[in-house]
Amino acid sequence: MTLDGTKFVNWIRRANRRIQENKDYLSELDRAIGDGDHGINMARGFAEAAQRLTGSADQDLGALCQQVAMALLSKVGGASGPLFGTAFLKMAGVWKGKDHASVHELSLALREAVNGIKMRGKAELGDKTMVDVWEPVSRFVAEKAEHLSWRELCVFAEEQMDKTKPLQAKKGRAAYLGPRSSGHLDPGAVSSFFLFEALCETMEESGGDR
The item of another protein, Mg ion, ligand ADP, none sharing an interface with residue 142, based on CB under 5 to 8 Å by kind, is none
Under rule CB under 8 A, residue 68 binds another protein: no
Q: Tell me if 68 contacts ligand ADP by CB under 6 A.
A: no
Is 49 among the residues that bind another protein (CB under 8 A)? no
How far, in Å, CA of 112 to CA of 69, rounded? Answer: 14
Write down the least CB distance from residue 17 to ligand ADP, Å: 19
Q: Is 14 in the site for another protein (CB under 8 A)?
A: no
| Residue 3 DSSP one-character state | E
Cα-based distances in Å from 182 to 71, 87, 164? 32, 26, 9
Q: Does 52 bind another protein (CB under 8 A)?
A: no
What sign does the dihedral 122-128-131-135 (CA atoms) show? Answer: positive
Task: Give the dihedral sign, CA 115/118/124/126.
Answer: negative
Q: Does 121 bind ligand ADP (CB under 6 A)?
A: yes
Using the rule CB under 8 A, which residue among 10, 14, 18, 34 binds another protein?
Answer: 34
CA atoms within 13 A on the CB side of 74: 9
In contact, 109 and 94? CB cutoff 8 Å: yes
- Report whether 20 contacts 28 (CB < 8 A): no
- Angle in degrees, CA 33, 37, 40, rounded to 5: 145
Rg (CA), the chain: 16
The piece of 7-15, 62-70, 88-96, 126-134 that touches ligand ADP (CB under 6 A) is 126-134
Residue 131 or residue 153: which is nearer to ligand ADP going by CB?
Answer: 131
To ligand ADP, the closest distance from the beta carbon of 151 in angstroms equals 25
Site for ligand ADP in 148-187 (CB under 6 A): 171-173, 186-187
Residue number of the CB atom closest to ligand ADP: 188
Binding site for another protein (CB under 8 A): 27, 31, 34-37, 40-41, 44, 73-83, 120-121, 170-173, 175-178, 180
